[in-house]
Structure 1
Amino acid sequence: MINRPLRQTDLRAPRPTRAPATDHAGLVVRLTARDRWILRMLHEHRVLTTTQLADLAFPSLVTARRRLALLHRYRVVDRFRPLRTHGTAPGHWVLAPSGAAVVAAEAGIEVRDLRYRREHALAIAHSLQLAHTVGVNEWFTALATAPGAGRVLAWSSETRCRRLWGDLVRPDSYGRYTHSGATLDFFLEFDLGTVNLSSVGGKLTGYAELARSTGIITPVLLWVPTTGRETTLRRALLDSWRTLPDPAAVPVATAAAELLDDTEPHPSPADRVWLPLNATGVAERIALHHLPASWPHLTPSPPSNDDAGLPAPGEPTELPPPSPTPPSSAGGQ
């Protein structure tokens, strides 16, 4: 669950699995629109779990497991299952070579232009960043699948953010969320409680420079595991924020995962757990879509549709980020 993120120390070496080969030509009639969307999502976000994909794209976990197993047989996806110190981890899915070939062919580019390498795709299984990457993807999955009128219009990976803005900032993700006529563009900083607080505060200087150089004011959302961590973090952030040349150019809000009600069927980052850094006195927590009202000087978002205003590809051959939601006519079982 989003309010009980997995810790890296709970993971051990993965159990790799292999699938029989299949020819690329045969995939033309075997892959549905939803399958192709899954491949693009795995290319963008590196690794997604069975439960995340089930929530995002399938009517049930059973259906998701069945279809993903079939995609594994087609060799368009690879999977591994980390060993946990407690319990059993869900399947973790990454893009396989045949899947990369499908993604590249649909975009009319070569596989090398995707920057895809199988050993790199599978390296996430052994990475010390696995829990963090899965946690960020769980955060957006919870936001995208929360019941209600809210909708995620954009979800860009840490890798894409690094290519676009890495000379100044390296957020864990970029997103756009809309609800009840309010649209919020934001950078996400996702903390599992292991990041040095002084380095988090130091990041604000980079965000200030990005706002100055682009003329675009984009809020920074910081998600931490506990309210105790949040209290300490806010003190460090305030010290750094107040020293910025123009603090208003870097709107900041914080939230703690433990504030989510785990008795609810769908706890979500959209809930009333956010506290703007510029809040004074005893301020009440607000929902995600109410944050723009706290910062009237924000750069207006473009019209709320799937394509408007999303981060532009860095190179002509770079794919745009996939839609956070699968095609409505996904088809398949």
Structure 2
Amino acid sequence: MTARRPRQASIASRHGPSIADAITAQRQLTPRDLRLLGLLAAHRALTAHQITRLLFTDDNTARKRLVLLTDRGVLDRFRACVRPGSQEYRYTLGPLGAMIYAATTDAPIPAPRTVHEKTLKLSRNPQLDHLLGINEFFTTLCHHARTNPGAELLEWWDEREATAACAKIAHPDGYGVWSENGRTVRFFLEYDTGTEELSRLIDKLQGYRDLRSGDITIPVLFVLPGPKRQTNFHRLLDEDPSTLSGLTVATATVAEIAADNPAASVWWLAGHTTRHRLAALPAPPPAARAA
């Protein structure tokens, strides 16, 4: 009887992987693996499906590679216990992946314990679904660009980077630059999960109005959980037109985006009844300058 081969174990000692382990592990990484490390470092967590659409051409190849990288300690993964059924894995940087990425960016090398603590906290973060929803929006755009010549997501910034760029005057969930067939649009993203009062969403527009004094005039996109909330949001905007005051605001629901993609004609422009493609959204007018 042939003995069963043991599953490949992570490169690690009893105290966790060392710098020497990271040096060994990086020799086995492909350019695609290194790109994945950068994406996870920037956006914290991605599902298996999101990673597949970003970097692979089929689910089977992606699954095998992700399992291998996890076994080696390059990636870490977690999922909640869901009954009935199961939840797909959420992937983040493992100890070796975090060490290799830090060396790539000349950042301090994190201790394995620190990386594991970050993974645990991320897995219990009440904002995890919100984060994955934001990442779903951008990965769907990336996948559309991969399969449609002439389209490209030129920029994808997470909440921290986007908020810092706004000097914390506004707090967008993301920022992107989308190009399609010669037309380019910059946009801020607000991803709503329905946990806040609609009045809170209206209040967020004040920060974007304040940005106009610095000549930052960019469309603001709201992704909303359902059609009822979307209709009520537009009703509030119509009741007080001053909330728009020089802004371009457009909305789409999660279902509308899932049925097509964020680049399609799913964006309901505030103050209008028609839907627009992402690349066709009008830019807000320049802020008026004092005489």
TM range (shorter): 0.7 to 0.9
Look up the match of 1:76: 74
Look up the match of 2:100: 102
**Per-residue deviation at 1:121?**
3.5
Kept after mapping to 2: 8 A contact 1:142/1:269: yes
Kept after mapping to 2: 8 A contact 1:227/1:259: no
Q: Which moved more, 1:18-27 or 1:43-52?
A: 18-27
Task: Give unmatched runs, 5+ long, in structure 1.
Answer: 1-17, 300-333
**Per-residue deviation at 1:238?**
4.1
Task: Select 1:251's aligned residue among 225, 236, 248.
Answer: 248
Kept after mapping to 2: 8 A contact 1:46/1:121: no
Task: Give unmatched runs, 5+ long, in structure 2.
Answer: 1-8
Q: Note if 1:275 corresponds to 2:261.
A: no
**Per-residue deviation at 1:196?**
1.4
Q: Note if 1:297 corresponds to 2:278.
A: no
Look up the match of 2:203: 202
Give CA-to-partner distance per residue, 1:174-227, whole Å, 9 cap, x none.
111000111111111111222211111001111111221x31211100011222
> Looking at CA atoms only, which structure, 1 or 2, has the larger radius of gyration?
2
* Alignment partners' CA distance in 2, 1:162 and 1:79: 27
CA RMSD of aligned residues (A): 2.2
Q: Which moved more, 1:122-131 or 1:196-205?
A: 122-131
Look up the match of 2:109: 111
Give CA-to-partner distance per residue, 1:268-300, whole Å, 9 cap, x none.
111111111132xxx3212111113xx36369x
**Per-residue deviation at 1:117?**
4.6
Relative distance call for 1:222 and 1:296 in structure 2 (3 A) is: closer
Kept after mapping to 2: 8 A contact 1:34/1:57: yes
Task: Select 2:63's aligned residue among 62, 65, 69.
Answer: 65
Kept after mapping to 1: 8 A contact 2:219/2:284: no
Matches within 5 A, 1:175-324: 175-212=176-213, 214-239=214-239, 242-243=242-243, 247-248=245-246, 250-260=247-257, 262=259, 267-279=260-272, 283-292=273-282, 295=283, 297=285
Task: Determine helix, strand or coil for the equivalent of 1:34.
Answer: helix
**Per-residue deviation at 1:84?**
2.4
**Per-residue deviation at 1:110?**
2.0
* Alignment partners' CA distance in 1, 2:46 and 2:286: 32
**Per-residue deviation at 1:74?**
2.1
Look up the match of 2:141: 143
* Alignment partners' CA distance in 1, 2:167 and 2:85: 37
Look up the match of 2:4: none
Count of paired positions: 266
Look up the match of 1:303: none
Look up the match of 1:10: none
TM-score normalised by the chain length of structure 2: 0.84
Kept after mapping to 2: 8 A contact 1:155/1:175: yes
* Alignment partners' CA distance in 2, 1:237 and 1:85: 40
More helix by share: 2
Aligned identity (percent) is 35
* Alignment partners' CA distance in 2, 1:276 and 1:121: 39
Relative distance call for 1:243 and 1:297 in structure 2 (3 A) is: closer
Look up the match of 2:163: 162
Return the letter of the residue paired with 2:97: G
Give CA-to-partner distance per residue, 1:221-240, whole Å, 9 cap, x none.
00112221101011223456
